[in-house]
Amino acid sequence: TNAPGPNPTIVWIHGGGWVAGDKARETPQLIPYLQRGWNVANVNYRQGPNTAPQAVDDVMCAYQRVTELLAASAMPLDQIVVSGASAGGHLALMVGMLNSEGEHPCKVTTPPQAVVNWFGITDIEAVHTFLSKTRPEGNYAASWIGDSGRLAEISGKYSPLFLVSENSPPIITVHGDRDSVVPFEQATALHESLSTTNQLVTMEGGNHSGFSDDQYQSAYREIFAFINDL
């Protein structure tokens, strides 16, 4: 049943290790929201080798722009959910964290109502370490940061795990327990650190996406129940 009143808004941020990807391919992830009548903002950002942390700046300013557009249409600003997958999950978490308790030129006074994090990176340096051992040729964290001398600084400032506070937004994470691209520990570490409303949905046997239809349907049931309970 659709409650009367304005529809919520989803801000979706694509993945691709901060170095690849395009919002044009993201329509399937938006269908569950569109079916429920949500407004959708699907964003791009600067990406590529040696571009850290520009993606964070871009999604912060995109979120600010979304709030301005909603305000201009007299739409509520307390029903915006930010979501993304992989690097997009990381960026969605950063929008939630920096708008809740952080500093940024594009920070707004209305943080997201919730963050829906699909297997996002929460500790950049830990992912860098993991990939340097398991798939050095595919170490997107190393590529994004470029100069390895910046790793500790970028990770310290732009890892959601280190920005957890008592003002963190509600966060629900969907993550496969056999993820070979973003280790499952990235999700468990975040959720063990959160004292605010949060939920971890484990996709049994799931790698980096590629879950079964049943798993996707189950995940979206959990997501909408989580949001409805806020």
Q: What is the pLDDT of residues 104-140, one digit of tens each?
A: 999 999 999 999 999 999 999 999 999 999 999 999 9
Q: Which residues contact 206 (CB under 8 A, 6 or more apart)?
A: 175, 176, 177, 178, 179, 215
Between strands 39-43 and 80-85, the pairing is unpaired
- On the question of a cis peptide bond just before residue 105, with omega within 30 degrees of 0, the verdict is no
Nearest Cα residue to 199 out of 170, 178, 177, 228 = 170
- How many CB atoms lie under 10 A from the CB of residue 13? 32
What pLDDT was estimated at residue 1? Answer: 45
Over residues 11-38, the pLDDT tens digits come to: 999 999 999 999 999 999 999 999 999 9
Query: pLDDT tens for residues 74-94?
Result: 999 999 999 999 999 999 999
pLDDT band, very low/low/confident/very high, at 210 (cuts 50, 70, 90)? confident
State the pTM of this model. 0.97
Q: For residue 166, how far is the Cα from the chain centroid?
A: 19
- For residue 130, give the 3-state DSSP assignment: helix
Range of weakest confidence among 1-10, 39-48, 92-101, 201-210: 1-10
Residue 5 has pLDDT above 80, yes or no: no
pLDDT digits (tens, 9 = 90+) for 135-166: 999 999 999 999 999 999 999 999 999 999 99
CA distance 96 to 108: 11
